[in-house]
Amino acid sequence: MSPVSLPSDFEWGFATAAYQIEGAVDEDGRGKSIWDTFCHLQPTRTKGADGDVACDHYHRYEEDLDLLSRYGAASYRFSISWSRIIPLGGRDDPVNEAGIAFYDKLIDALLARGITPWVTLYHWDLPQGIHDRYGGWLNVEESQLDFERYAKVCYERFGDRVKNWITINEPWIVSIFGYGNGWNAPGRSSINPMAVQGDTSTEPWIVGKALIMSHARATSLYNRDFRHSQKGKIGISLNGDYYEPWDSQDRRDYEAAERRMEFHIGWFANPVCLAQDYPECMRAQLGERLPHFTESDFALLRNADMDFYGMNYYTSQYAQNRGTIPLDTDFLGNVNELQENKDGMSIGEKSGVSWLRSTPNLFRKHLTRVYRKYGKPIYVTENGCPCPGEDKMTCEEAVNDDYRVQYFADHLDAIGRSCEDGSDIRGYFAWSLMDNLEWSDGYGVRFGVTFTDYDTLERTPKRSALLLKKMFDERMSTTREHDAGPVGLNDPKPRM
């Protein structure tokens, strides 16, 4: 079958995050982040791994940018380490010029290669200084003011060259994994036996509001003080799976699937895309545990109109209605998440990690649903997978990553088909440029298109890295029409 066409001006590249690749955690004035602390907790929460050295990108960035050139990438999404810019994190704390100098060099080196920088301001690495000072994201008022100042420094110092900004990456993961189940930094939870602090029933929802308002402040600031002169664009990256009903004959499972997506995506997309309150199903289940927006909050959200919706997508699941009164520690929307449906059918082909199965047909549905519901142009800011068994492979074995090649091809075709559905999708960033620290999974799981030898730090391109440009060239040069219609999304209105 011929590949499905993409817009001729479609933008594509690769993505990384600072703590996962940079290393150099004690160099040139960088302050500690909550991940520095979390990775060194004992007993280990990260399979013994830490980001002290990681991929040593801080010293090897030229080599890594050469890989981008070799792969033909037009764009590169990376994050800035907040504690490298403002070591203690606060709005009255000193700025670290050495940290700014590093990102200056990185941005200039990208532009010299003709590669467009895409900058994420926050990819999970909160400065430990403000976590210690007032609880970090648990203090809604203080954290948004400190984030606003950090964003301002970045706009002022890099905005003459950076024209693409992402405020926050995956606020759902920050809120739930950091403050709900405690799997990620800072590891707060009342249901995780390894956590010593936290309240799963309340803290994720407080943190969620802090992240929403921090995004709003950073976006409003850009719109007011920098957009006219710098002529850039700004958005947020939200993660979320697509959910199908576990029992296709049960109306309650259809409702559960939609409710799960509202708890996953609507929690953040309603306020930041529509300047609206949280979804009604969240209010109904959570009651007063879900913080309220004030009129001044809504005014700020209305002033924070953003240019695009950044979508991080990896997989889909089945949703089964639980049919019981939800626990006060439930953050899923009172559903069971399953990978096989009532008839035993798998949601997709298994990958190299238990939670991810390849589901390109549902990616199409997901893209189309999000575009119809929120009306923002979409950039796919993360998409990728580990191959089955890749964590046990040698370099010579891992570079022949046929599963990943097929995953990319299928998901790019899904983007093209969603464009046929009427979606406005403008770009794609493969996760990730190289194998790196996969947070609490340590260095076992490999999502990279480049094999990283963690002993020697040698980088070796995998087959997928060398084929992505060909995939995009084929799709962006194709102009023929396709006769395939929308898959399960034939209604012209958003499905609420």
Residue 370: name the closest of 291, 460, 310 by CA: 310
Res 270: pLDDT: 98
Residue 337's H or E segment, with its range, is strand 335-338
Buried b (16+ CB within 10 A) or exposed e, 10-44: bbbbbbbbbbbbbbbbeeeebbbbbbbebbeeeee
CA distances in angstroms from 18 to 30, 81, 233, 342, listed in the order given:
12, 6, 21, 41
pLDDT of residue 477: 79
DSSP helix/strand/coil, 59: helix
Residue closest to 240 by CA, chosen among 305, 186, 171? 171
Known catalytic residues are 170, 382
CA-to-CA separations, 373 to 144, 255, 259, 385, 406, in angstroms, rounded: 27, 16, 14, 27, 29
- For residue range 90-141, what is the model confidence (pLDDT) as tens digits? 999 999 999 999 999 999 999 999 999 999 999 999 999 999 999 999 999 9
Q: What is the mean pLDDT of the chain?
A: 96
Name beta bridge partners: 244: 318
Q: Which residues pair with 12 in a beta bridge?
A: 428
The bridge status of strand 116-122 relative to strand 233-239 is unpaired
Domains of the chain (ranges, CATH numbers): 11-476 (3.20.20.80)
The pLDDT value recorded for residue 311 is 99
Which value, to the nearest 10 degrees, does the dihedral of the CA atoms of residues 32, 38, 39, 42 take?
130
What pTM value is reported for the model? 0.96
Q: Residue 467 CB: number of other CB atoms within 10 A?
A: 17
* pLDDT digits (tens), the chain, 496 positions: 789 999 999 999 999 999 999 999 999 999 999 999 999 999 999 999 999 999 999 999 999 999 999 999 999 999 999 999 999 999 999 999 999 999 999 999 999 999 999 999 999 999 999 999 999 999 999 999 999 999 999 999 999 999 999 999 999 999 999 999 999 999 999 999 999 999 999 999 999 999 999 999 999 999 999 999 999 999 999 999 999 999 999 999 999 999 999 999 999 999 999 999 999 999 999 999 999 999 999 999 999 999 999 999 999 999 999 999 999 999 999 999 999 999 999 999 999 999 999 999 999 999 999 999 999 999 999 999 999 999 999 999 999 999 999 999 999 999 999 999 999 999 999 999 999 999 999 999 999 999 999 999 999 999 999 999 999 999 997 643 443 444 444 333 332 2
Backbone dihedral angles phi then psi of residue 75, each to the nearest 5 degrees: -140, 160
- Measured N-to-C along each axis, helices 203-221 and 295-302 cross at an angle, to the nearest 10 degrees, of 50
The pLDDT value given to residue 490: 33
